[in-house]
A = this chain, B = another copy of it.
Amino acid sequence: MKFFISLVFLSLTLVANEGLIKKAYEANMKPIPKSNKELKKLIDDPKNPITKDKVELGKILYFDPRLSKSNLISCNTCHNLGIGGTDGLAAAIGDNWQANPMHLNSPTVYNSALAYMQFYDGRSPHLADQAKGPMTTSFEMAIAPSELEQKIQKIKGYKKLFEKAYGKNTKITFDLIAQTIAIFEKTLITPSRFDDFMHGDTKALSQNEQKGLETFLAKGCANCHRNEALGGLMRYFDTRGKYTFRTVGGFEGNDNKLVKVPTLRNISRTAPYFHNGMVWNLKEAVFEMAKVQLSISMSDKEASEIVDFLHSLDGEIKSINYPMLPR
């Protein structure tokens, strides 16, 4: 009898789980594809496809501070792979210790390849285009494309690495440097227990986390935090309620007042939150969203449930061998 009850309970739980998975799919939440082939459909560029040699070269470029005018700032300075792909600062600091003039926060590079657009105002369609921004912006890496090309072309080790990745006599251009960095960044995808759950492993999320996902869906969070990126698309910001720190930095989105939705993947690792990095606590960020985007009241219990779920988005970060930079 006891066994029978257990069996019924287990079946009901499984049904409940599967119902939750279905609901999440219906709300357009999507897992990172399991197969490399499917993942590549999302992130690879047939014009310059991912290869092992390009990834290795892209990693070296990513860590090389010589890509900045000062020789001191690398991509990894602000998108530090050891700190969730961010810098842990409210507003980014760049060349000559200049803070971002709009008090913009460095977004995580992890899973950025899954986003539909890049930058908070969505002005860039993909990472190969995006990477050019920080390199050349005066308050970030501050280097002119021609200066960068000359510098990299002069380093013999780079000549070899570009030829290995792209063939003999490859011309090292600003475009190709940016594309190659993007190719490395495309490998920074971090599947999490949420993805296992969505692929049918109903035990991948704890009961608390499943409860959190239920609440997340019920409140409408997936209206913005959807697709594989659980974000990465454009939405109106704070039109339903006033963001507490609206005035800090003066950023108001693109011409249509649209703002890119940050990914929720690894969110527990990427504080502080929001475009101007003014909120350090994850639960506080959830409350802020309830007010600003959903115009709903949220109980402390509900916010905690959502935070529980968000922790299930902590992804698996592949180990990275620190590169020795060519001379």
Contacts and interface: CB of A to CB of B under 8 A. Distances in A.
- Bin chain A's interface residue count: 20 to 34
Nearest to A60: B82
A72 B96 contact: no
A322 B321 contact: yes
Given A70-B93, A97-B96, A322 B82 contact: yes
Contact of A81 (B81, B88, B269, B322): B322
Contacts of A322: 81-82, 319-322
B323 A82 contact: yes
A322 B85 CA distance: 13
A327 B269 contact: yes
A87 B64 CA distance: 11
Nearest to A88: B71
**Among the interface residues A63, A81, A82, A327, which one has the most CB atoms of the partner chain B within 10 A?**
A82
Contacts of A77: 72
A321 B97 CA distance: 28
Nearest to A269: B327
A320 B319 CA distance: 10
A284 B327 CA distance: 18
A88 B66 contact: yes
Copy number in the complex reads 2
A80 interface: yes
Contacts of A324: 81-82, 317
A14 interface: no
Nearest to A81: B322
26 contacts: A63-B82, A64-B82, A65-B83, A66-B88, A70-B89, A70-B93, A71-B87, A71-B88, A71-B89, A72-B77, A72-B87, A72-B89, A72-B93, A80-B325, A81-B322, A81-B324, A82-B322, A82-B324, A82-B325, A83-B325, A96-B97, A97-B97, A319-B321, A319-B322, A320-B322, A322-B322
Interface of A: 63-66, 70-72, 77, 80-83, 87-89, 93, 96-97, 268-269, 317, 319-325, 327
Given A72-B87, A81-B324, 14 more contacts: A65-B87, A65-B88, A66-B88, A70-B89, A70-B93, A82-B322, A82-B324, A96-B97, A97-B97, A268-B327, A269-B327, A320-B321, A321-B321, A322-B322
Q: Which 3 A-B pairs have the closest CB atoms?
A: A97-B97, A320-B322, A82-B325
